[in-house]
Amino acid sequence: MTNETLTVTDNRTGKTYEIPIENETIPAAALRKIKVDPDDFGLMTYDPGYGNTASCKSAITYIDGDKGILRYRGYPIEQLAEQSTFLEVAYLLIHGELPSKDELERWENDVMHHTFVHENLARMVEAFRYDAHPMSILISALSIMSSMHADAKDVQNAAARKKQVLRILGKLPTVAAFAYRHRIGRPYNYPNSDLSYTGNFLYMLDYMKQTHYEVNPVLAKALDVLFILHADHEQNCSTAVMRNIGSAMADPYVAMSGAAAALSGPLHGGANEAVVKMLGVIGDEKHVPSYIERVKKGDFRLMGFGHRVYKNYDPRARIVKQIAYDVFKVTGTDPLLDIALKLEEVALQDEYFVSRKLYPNVDFYSGIIYRAMRFPTDMFTVLFALGRAPGWLAQWLELITDEEQRIARPRQVYLGAEERAYVPLGER
Ligand code: ACO
């Protein structure tokens, strides 16, 4: 027996158990041997929100939340943000290695040749009310796409899986752009695969038949970097949903529809939208201290602050802050930035935030950039979803090919009523 074990004594029975330790974890199933009598179910762990439960082995993204480290496939996020492109990062996440020049060219061509969507999908967008939240449209579009690509059901087939990856990455910006144009009552622009991934997206959003239309390269680059920063974040809420649905062997469109639904929540991808709303409510730098006092009293949370994993400055937030200045050179500055900077300054010196290790997260500044680029607030989470798509797909592919994975099925601690007899309605 090696010393890579944990010895546990059950004080109810006095019995001692030896549990193996592998990769700094213990197999939860080993606890089931710990029983008071043979008919017992055995011990389980209780972990709401899965704060200390590893649900998979993964080789995709590494995070050290205390040190503020984020790496995709071993490459530091700072280097990828500075030197790579979103599509190259997508390739890296999905294939595990950086592509050669030829591989990258083929990959970019393949993705850009899957940008057109079925006309029925365009008509589905039409069916939404003018003020429909674009995340509702995106979530619905993904499940409609499931019905349009029957081969997606063949999740055990590697070629079929690869095809859906290209389709999803290619078509998602088109759906997002259609949702936006529908919202503002303008005709759809069909994709232009001569442009870069984010260039084409901006084109579909903005083009109005001008004779000399050009995508602004600074804005396309800023969006590309923001997408890189959002591309994966290991087992976050929406990725866990992608894996959970995928574990039932459902196709990747419906799995991603569920993941996008999770992302739309204000504690997850909806946070950047919430940050901009919050900055608007604060309204002026001079109101920052009183706002912070109300946060400390527990009236509400400071949106864009805190993270389940990072107990240090989110490394992505640092990069986003830099991009803000590049974008403002093109778009002009935004008064909300001054309020955000003041909020950060006050919070980072305040005992409440310091002691709880609450730092700005990636969403604290991304919303301000999107606003400066004239995105309506409710498009922010859609942008997050476009960035996160390769991460969701990489995690889904890893799950499908992992022989240790089974259908996700957590346990519960039942604290409800004991068995009792049904009381007829007239006797209640
Ligand atoms: N403002 C004020 N207090 C906060 C905040 C915040 N933003 N976040 C956490 N706290 C406090 C909690 O009240 C709690 O205090 P207590 O110990 O006195 O009760 C303590 O810090 C720990 O908070 P938890 O809720 O246990 O932290 P958890 O890890 O569960 O939550 C979360 C993480 C959801 C991100 C949280 O920090 C939050 O709500 N932040 C605001 C929303 C946000 O920005 N979400 C984006 C996350 S990043 C992303 O999805 C890309």
What's the CATH code of the domain at 356? 1.10.230.10
Q: Could you tell me if residue 94 is inside a domain?
A: yes
Q: Could you tell me if residue 410 is inside a domain?
A: no
Q: How far is the CA of 355 from the centre of ligand 1 (A)?
A: 13
Alpha-carbon distance 109 to 189, whole Å? 20
Q: How far is the CA of 206 from the centre of ligand 1 (A)?
A: 36
Same domain flag for 288 and 391:
no
Q: Which of 11-15, 106-110, 117-121, 367-371 has the lowest mean pLDDT?
A: 367-371
Same domain flag for 173 and 276:
no
Q: Identify the band that residue 311 occupies on the pLDDT scale cut at 50, 70 and 90.
A: confident
Q: Could you tell me if residue 93 is inside a domain?
A: yes
Closest CA to 364 of 390, 386, 382, 345: 345
Residue 36 predicted with pLDDT over 80: yes
Same domain flag for 91 and 162:
yes
Atom of ligand 1 nearest to the CA of 236: 50
Atom of ligand 1 nearest to the CA of 309: 29
Predicted pLDDT of residue 58:
98
3-class DSSP state of 288: helix
SS3 content of the chain, % helix, strand, coil (to 5): 55, 5, 40
Residue 394 predicted with pLDDT over 70: yes
Same domain flag for 344 and 394:
no
Residue 197's domain comprises: 75-265+382-400
Same domain flag for 214 and 346:
no
Same domain flag for 84 and 139:
yes
DSSP label at residue 96: S
- Domain count for the chain, please give it: 2
Q: How far is the CA of 361 from the centre of ligand 1 (A)?
A: 10
194 flagged as catalytic? no
Q: Is the dihedral of CA 297, 303, 308, 313 positive or negative?
A: negative
**Taking CB atoms and a 6 Å cutoff, what residues make up the pocket around ligand 1?**
267-269, 271, 295, 301-308, 356, 358, 361-363
Predicted pLDDT of residue 2:
64
Same domain flag for 223 and 95:
yes
Active-site position among 268, 338, 350, 402: 268
Name which residue sits closest to atom 25 of ligand 1, judged by CA. Answer: 308
Q: Identify the band that residue 334 occupies on the pLDDT scale cut at 50, 70 and 90.
A: confident
Alpha-carbon distance 116 to 268, whole Å? 29
Same domain flag for 173 and 150:
yes
Residue 1 predicted with pLDDT over 60: no
Name which residue sits closest to atom 36 of ligand 1, judged by CA. Answer: 306
Same domain flag for 233 and 285:
no
Rounded to the nearest integer, the mean pLDDT of the chain is 95
Active-site position among 232, 334, 363, 378: 363
Same domain flag for 239 and 360:
no
Q: Could you tell me if residue 108 is inside a domain?
A: yes
233 flagged as catalytic? no
Q: Are 275 and 304 in contact (CB under 8 A)?
A: yes
Closest CA to 167 of 189, 188, 141: 141
Residue 168 predicted with pLDDT over 60: yes
Q: Could you tell me if residue 333 is inside a domain?
A: yes
Q: Could you tell me if residue 31 is inside a domain?
A: no
The residues, any chain, with a CB within 8 Å of residue 124's CB and separated by 6 or more, are 140, 141, 144
Alpha-carbon distance 68 to 66, whole Å? 6
Same domain flag for 260 and 276:
no
Q: What is the mean pLDDT of residues 403-415?
A: 96
Q: What is the mean pLDDT of residues 140-148?
A: 97
Alpha-carbon distance 231 to 225, whole Å? 10
Q: What is the mean pLDDT of residues 51-66?
A: 95
Q: Which tokens belong to 387?
A: 């960035």
Q: Could you tell me if residue 328 is inside a domain?
A: yes
Per-residue pLDDT reduced to its tens digit, 263-299: 999 888 888 888 999 999 999 999 999 999 999 999 9
CATH number assigned to the domain comprising residue 157: 1.10.580.10
3-class DSSP state of 427: helix
287 flagged as catalytic? no
Same domain flag for 255 and 181:
yes
Query: What pTM was estimated for this model as a whole?
Result: 0.92
Residue 48 predicted with pLDDT over 70: yes
Alpha-carbon distance 152 to 162, whole Å? 10
Q: Could you tell me if residue 19 is inside a domain?
A: no
